[in-house]
Amino acid sequence: MKKKATFAFLTLILLSGCWDSTNIEELNMAIGFAVDKGDNGHKLKLSMQVLVPQKIDQETSIKDPTEIIETSGDSMHQIFRTTAQKTHRIFSHQLRVYLFSQELINENNFDLVINQFIRDNETRRGSLVFMTSEKPGDMLKINDDGQPASSTLYTISGNTKTTIRMFKPVSLGDISSAMQNNVSFALPKVSVDKGKLILEGASIIKNKRFLTNISPLAVQSYNLLTGDAKGGVIDFQYDQSIYSFEIFKLNHNIKTHKSASGTYRFDVSVELDGRLSEDWNVRENSFNEKYLQEIEGVVKQRLEKNVKDFIEKLQHEIKADICGFYQKANIAYPNDFRKEAKHWDEVFSESDIQYKVNVKIRDFGTKGATQSL
């Protein structure tokens, strides 16, 4: 009798299906969150870009299979609960990007704004984070020939091997770690150009608030200073001509010293190997070693000047170590750094940073001389 009862119970379980299943039509898969100042006196506004299964199933005339759900409130948790009153539950397991308003982070501590995202077990800490000076919710409504804005931002952020003027991808986990350590940092800045989303420069966060933006040229210097450059092309003018130097390989090294007076010195050395991919000089002759050495010297001079100007601005105008020199100080002088950590940006601003780059042209393409040999 017991065996029959057990068999009947197991059969009932197997025939019952998934007890917690949800119809796909009832799923709202969030792929992007945009956070801004709230409407109607509220503190926050959250715009969620969600995939709509019904749109995916429809004819191809509907290119963008997403919709934007906007809700204002005084806390993130409240916003999510209010959103549940007007739509199906939002699932954030596939969330790709966060887009924050500079104005919001200028008036509120960043760690407080993202507090709920960090605490939520469903949140992907690997989701990428961006900043914008425009309305982030409106930017999620821009689609690129049917590709949702969230997917566009996620895709173009991977182009760091193609351009040296793009800031590296920054995740929610990276930001959480930086703010726990109370250090300054930067993240990619999003703009709109002729109706298209672009990554243009970076936004600096200091003391958990938005401080200022830096230009794409400054991002290039940042990448050469930190060694984050993975590739890209450096354009410059010399002898009334245009040149392009394409980076193949970058070797980066930092030596850390500290004087008896307590001043840090960071000696940064970079080895750049690349290709002379464009040369508009009428006297061009890449088969001539002296000509190549001349161009190498020009690239070296320009890059060192740009990076040193960037260091000067970072130390004496912005006064924020977004380059991670604090990590080098912590490794080399851990006991001293523990005492300096709380006011590290001040210590960084008084540090001596030396930068040297060595450039080697390994290739100049299939054309070596404009003039007849």
Each as own residue / partner, the long-range contacts of residues 247-252 (CB below 8 Å, 24 or more positions apart, any chain) are 247/164, 247/272, 247/273, 247/274, 248/273, 248/274, 248/275, 248/362, 248/363, 249/273, 249/274, 250/224, 252/226, 252/227
What is the rounded average pLDDT for all residues in the chain?
88
131, 134, 136, 139: CA torsion to nearest 10: -110
pLDDT score at 50: 93
Q: What is the mean pLDDT of residues 32-58?
A: 86
CA distances to 51, 80, 287, 370, 371 from 367, in Å: 50, 60, 9, 8, 11
pLDDT score at 13: 46
pLDDT digits (tens, 9 = 90+) for 100-125: 999 999 999 999 999 999 888 677 88
* Burial grade of 367 (CB within 10 A; 0-12, 13-18, 19 or more): exposed
Could you tell me which residue, 29 or 331, shows the higher pLDDT?
A: 331
pLDDT score at 21: 52
Q: Which one, of 197, 206, 253, lies nearest residue 105 by Cα? A: 206
pLDDT score at 1: 55
Q: Is the per-residue pLDDT at 51 higher than 90?
A: no
DSSP codes, 49-63? EEE-HHHHHS-TT--
Q: How confident is the model at residue 143 (pLDDT cuts 50, 70, 90)?
A: confident
DSSP codes, 26-42? G-EEEEEEEEEEPSTT-
The CA angle 285-286-287, to the nearest 5 degrees, is 90
pLDDT score at 371: 41
The token duo for 296 is: 């190498």
Q: What is the mean pLDDT of residues 244-259?
A: 96
pLDDT score at 17: 53
pLDDT score at 22: 54
pLDDT digits (tens, 9 = 90+) for 58-89: 555 557 788 999 999 999 989 988 888 887 77
pLDDT digits (tens, 9 = 90+) for 186-217: 999 999 999 999 999 999 999 999 999 999 99
The token duo for 63 is: 């290119």
Q: Is the per-residue pLDDT at 326 higher than 60?
A: yes
Could you tell me which residue, 85 or 360, shows the higher pLDDT?
A: 360
pLDDT score at 91: 80
